[in-house]
Amino acid sequence: MSVTQPPLNSPDIRRLDPVLEPGHTYASVTDKIAAVVLTRPLGIGWLAGFTLTFTIVMVLFISIAWLVIKGVGIWGINIPIGWGFAIVNFVWWIGIGHAGTLISAILFLLNQKWRTSINRFAEAMTLFAVACAGLFPLIHTGRPWMAYYMFPYPSTMGIWPQFRSPLIWDVFAVSTYGTVSLLFWFVGLLPDLATLRDRAKSRYQQVIYGILSMGWRNSARHWHRYQSAYLLLAGLATPLVLSVHTVVSFDFAVAIVPGWHTTIFPPYFVAGAIYSGFAMVLTLAIPLRKAYGLEDFITMRHLDNMAKVMLATGLIVAYGYFIEFFMAFYSGNKFDVFLAEQRLHGPYSHFYYALILCNILTPQLLWFEKVRRNVLALFLMSLVINTGMWLERFVIVVISLTRDFMPSAWGRYSPTFWDYSTFIGTLGLFVMLIFLFVRGLPAIAIAEMRELVHESHEKGQK
Amino acid sequence: MEHHSHLHGVMGEFETPEQLLAAARKAREAGYKHVDAYTPFPIEGLAHAIGFRWTAVPLITLIGGIGGGLTGFGLQYWCSAITYPLNIAGRPLNSWPAFIPVTFELTVLGASIFAVVGMLALNKLPQPYHPIFNVERFASASTDRFFLVIEARDPKFDLAESSRFLQEASARHVSEVKDEE
């Protein structure tokens, strides 16, 4: 410690990067964000990116078409490994979505100003991730056109869903999550759509944003009800987001399969979801701020804070891994002990070591401020963590299923071309939707940015 | 064809939220009842200043949540215990702990849908036409201008008098809002 260290309450020690670079006015933030949507011409980068991801979406369509023609046998799944990539990807995608809700709802309730410039596209990310996630259980049924059987509806057969099954809970949790995320996102967008309507130059922009903004006119009465509804939605989305990954973890934890049947699963799944979600927000935010010159709005403060959240949730996840081992040996259950050994020495142990490297060891670099302030390092770190979280779900699904109770029932799993093409296809779908989103809707909440300008003015006057 | 046009009110344009807030309070004190303010972002205390205190949104949300929760539990109870009773490993037909996740999800779903639809309905949205948009300057209400409108249906409204009132309240620009039908 140097002797020149200022006292803790001095203004110097709190001199963090601003959440908004100084010098901005109501008009300048509005212009800058709206221009990305309304006036900026389509760049070669956008066109190239969109074309590439659109092509990958075609790969997804072909993969699904082939799946519908041939059945789930085209994947590497078989008894005893019936879950394979489809469920790994489902859990991975739904987890990624969680950061969007966390940023928009929980940080809103905690009155964190730095959420403002990242919440909009984080919410969009949530929606697109939930769309990708929902696809997997649907096509994993093998007969997706019969998926409506999962909903309780009065059928002529007189049968009803089995409500004691976590898989039915999942149907309700994920569809509620998708709906509430969409509502939350739309409510947040409403004033911004009106802003775009007011600034639109071409007729078709005026008509489209005019319809979408529903005639919002920024009345104080409207704002009052709006804020009330927004606050309530944030309050509702907060327990919802925790419940969704809890229910997803019940898909595993309620079963008796060794490695799944643990009480640590709900909290550790939720932490892992937030961990991977923040990694994905960084993966998207870093190129976005660069491409559209939004460094004034998405500042180093945002990146730094997100890195800290990743570090914290990463440590919770590491604790989860540790407790899994501890409980296996502490319980003395021979199947649990065997599973723990399988993770370290079994046929898929390299996945486990890669997981530890990606999710526990590498993120420890985030303790260093130098790393948190290096945009490239953060970007690479976010990719590593995304990979790590995917590996975590692979380890949970596949290692547990390959060798459970009876050696005669053991099996092996290796993904096929169609497993990979479907997974990569959803990555393409996700990124393509992000590409469309940044050009069609304001990627940063404009009205909230104006509010932020107002607050920083007020602070400046005092 | 005869063209009907009548007055919706007068609109004062302000440069800062503080001026608008002060003007709104003054209008209240001067006895105006039908006043509305338009701002590019929500301003604390403004709804209060124009005499709007209570909103039904929380109550509607509560009703939606209770309704969703009762529907969720009722649905599961009815399916599992009444219309399609199945003996699953000897567990009771009304195995309520297993019904909690779906009940919870539908509570949140009901409350959220009611909150959003309730907010839109109370705001009378979607609304394809509103006279306020006839004023060209009003487009800046979504950027950096703050507007106060004294509506013509106010018993105290008088075009000249109300315009002067707004000007005295430091409005930078005052315009008439015409309603064309």
The answer to whether A31 touches A38, Cβ cutoff 8 Å, is: no
Query: Residue A218 is nearest to which of B38, B52, B105, comparing CB atoms?
Result: B38
**pTM of this structure:** 0.92
Most confident range, picked from A327-331, B36-40, B109-113, B170-174: B109-113
- Residue-level pLDDT at A16: 64
Structure confidence at residue B1 as a pLDDT band (50, 70, 90): very low
- Residue-level pLDDT at B11: 93
What is the distance in angstroms between the Cα of A67 and the nearest Cα belonging to chain B?
31
Whether the pLDDT of residue B3 is over 70: the answer is no
Inspect the interface and report whether the beta carbons of B102 and A225 lie closer than 8 Å.
no
A20, A24, A25, A26: which to substitute to probe chain B, counting the most B Cβ within 10 Å?
A26
- Residue-level pLDDT at A12: 47
Q: Which phi and psi angles does B5 have, rounded to 5°? A: -145, 125
Inspect the interface and report whether the beta carbons of B101 and A247 lie closer than 8 Å.
yes
Query: Residue A232 is nearest to which of B40, B46, B115, comparing CB atoms?
Result: B115
ipTM of the complex: 0.93
What is the distance in angstroms between the Cα of A392 and the nearest Cα belonging to chain B?
25
- Residue-level pLDDT at B4: 56
Helix (H) or strand (E) holding A61: helix A44-70
DSSP at A42: P
Sign of the dihedral defined by the CA atoms of residues A39, A44, A45, A46, in that order: positive
Question: What is the biggest distance separating any 2 CA atoms in chain B, rounded to whole angstroms?
Answer: 81
Helices within A368-443 (DSSP H only): 369-372, 375-394, 400-402, 417-440
- Residue-level pLDDT at A460: 64
Task: Identify the closest residue of chain B to A161 by CA–CA distance.
Answer: B79
- Residue-level pLDDT at A461: 57
As a dihedral over the C-alpha atoms of residue A390, residue A396, residue A401, residue A407, rounded to 10 degrees, the angle is 120
What average pLDDT does the structure give for chain B? Answer: 90
**DSSP secondary structure letters along A74-95:** GSS-BTTB-SHHHHHHHHHHHH
Side-chain-side CA neighbours of B31 within 13 Å: the count stands at: 6
Regions of chain A with pLDDT less than 50: 1-3, 5-14, 462
Query: Residue B122 is nearest to which of A27, A194, A225, comparing CB atoms?
Result: A225
Three-state SS string over A107-174 comes to HHHCCCHHHCCCHHHHHHHHHHHHHHHHHHHHHHCCCHHHHHHHCCCCCCCCCCCCCCCHHHHHHHHH
The answer to whether A169 touches A250, Cβ cutoff 8 Å, is: yes
Give the model confidence (pLDDT) of B144-166 as tens digits.
Answer: 899 999 999 888 888 888 999 99
What is the distance in angstroms between the Cα of A184 and the nearest Cα belonging to chain B?
8
What is the distance in angstroms between the Cα of B138 and the nearest Cα belonging to chain A?
9
CA distance A69 to A56: 20
- Residue-level pLDDT at A422: 96
Query: Residue A215 is nearest to which of B75, B112, B127, comparing CB atoms?
Result: B127
Query: Which residues are CB-contacts of B24 (< 8 A; sequence separation ≥ 6)?
Result: A220, B35, B37, B46, B49, B50, B148
- Residue-level pLDDT at B179: 86
Give the model confidence (pLDDT) of A382-400 as tens digits.
Answer: 999 999 999 999 999 999 9
- Residue-level pLDDT at A335: 93
- Residue-level pLDDT at B181: 64
- Cβ-based contacts of B39 with chain A (< 8 Å): 218, 220, 223
Q: What is the mean pLDDT of residues B33-39?
A: 92
